[in-house]
Amino acid sequence: MKKQFNKIKKFIKISKGTTDIIYIFLTAVFITIALLILVCLFEQWNIHVPGSREMWIGLIGALLGGVYTMLGVKMTINYQSKVDNEKDRLSNIPILKFETGYSTMTDFNGDGIFSIDKNSIYTTAFPQDETKPYPTLTISLANNNSAFDIYIESFVTLENMNNSFDREFFFPQEYRLVSNEKVQYMLYVIDYEKYSCSNVLGVVRIAYSDIFGNAYYQDVAVAYYEDIESLDNLLEIEHIRMPILKKDALDLSEIIKIEYGYLHTENIEEQNNT
């Protein structure tokens, strides 16, 4: 019975507080039914028990009253605990700050290089020209809440929005941000000249967790330009989305539709015509 209940619990993802309430309720039902059956059996077998039927019914009623009072207290405690936990979570959400710049391979002292093509993302491919400037994305804290287990979860563009990479094989390193610490990445678009537009539009997804272990995503819509005179504009930040719990986050293909809706429609039409 317990084994099957555990399977049901796992399937419907019952929280611990709800599980306790279910156990209390089922225990009360079981004891009540057992007592009623016992009283009926004693009467049927003419076994004398102290007290009358009314007394036993009153005892069962008192038992049920106590159990339901316990249930009410447990539900109140669970609700208050959830409220307090949510308050703590909201007051400790790390909000990330993003800055763009540029660097060459020879001068780069950052934490990782991501190479992007139309099919996937690599962390083992490097630009062929080590003296050419490439855009950098620097991540720091916008508030005083520390962030842990930081990594780039994915970078989806209008050209490769249906593809993603497995971070188990690509750049498994995670970082932390405390106080004034920073994490810097270099982004390199492979075969930039083969893209259909002069700029590559996409969304970078940063994954991290807070001090309590809650997992978050924060998405950044960016525009990548190589054919531009100002090096400071190689990578432009279009929109920084607010952090969201990982379990509540939309797929990146949906985010890019939201950020670049009309361009996404045009891109689909172009692909259908070719």
138-170 pLDDT per residue, tens:
999 999 999 999 988 888 877 766 555 555 555
| 3-class DSSP state of 245 | strand
Same domain, 256 and 175: yes
Report the candidate in 91, 235, 50 with the shortest Cα–Cα distance to residue 157. 235
Whether residue 234 contacts residue 244, with contact meaning beta carbons closer than 8 Å, is answered with no
126 pLDDT higher than 90: no
Cα separation of 9 and 206, whole Å? 32
Per-residue pLDDT reduced to its tens digit, 42-96: 767 776 666 666 676 777 778 777 777 877 787 888 889 889 989 999 999 999 9
Q: Are 75 and 135 part of one and the same domain?
A: no
What's the pLDDT score for residue 125?
A: 58
Q: Could you tell me if 22 and 126 lie in one domain?
A: no
Q: Token match 């950098």: residue?
A: 136
Question: Are 163 and 79 contained in the same domain?
Answer: no
Predicted pLDDT of residue 187? 82
- Using CA atoms, how far residue 115 sits from 118, 167, 188, in Å, is 10, 14, 5
Binned at pLDDT 50, 70 and 90, residue 33 comes out as confident
Q: Which of 91, 126, 155 is the last residue of a domain?
A: 91
Claim to verify: residue 22 and residue 48 sit in the same structural domain = yes
Pair (122, 225) in one structural domain: yes
Q: What is the DSSP letter of 128?
A: S
- 50 shares a domain with 143: no
C-alpha to C-alpha distance for 95 and 144, rounded to whole angstroms: 9
Last residue of a domain, one of 91, 112, 133: 91
Q: Tell me the two tokens of residue 42.
A: 């004693």
Between strands 121-122 and 112-116, the pairing is antiparallel
Looking at 50, 69, 91, the residue that finishes a domain is: 91
Q: How many structural domains compose the chain?
A: 2
Residues 45 and 161 both lie in one domain: no
Q: Which two tokens stand for residue 64?
A: 């049920």
State residue 177's pLDDT score: 94
- Does 145 lie in the same domain as 65? no
Question: Tens digit of pLDDT for each residue in 194-228?
Answer: 666 667 888 889 999 999 999 999 999 998 887 66
Residues 87 and 168 in one domain: no
Domain of residue 121 covers 96-273
Both 84 and 100 in one domain: the answer is no
Is residue 63 domain-shared with residue 28, that is, in the same domain? yes
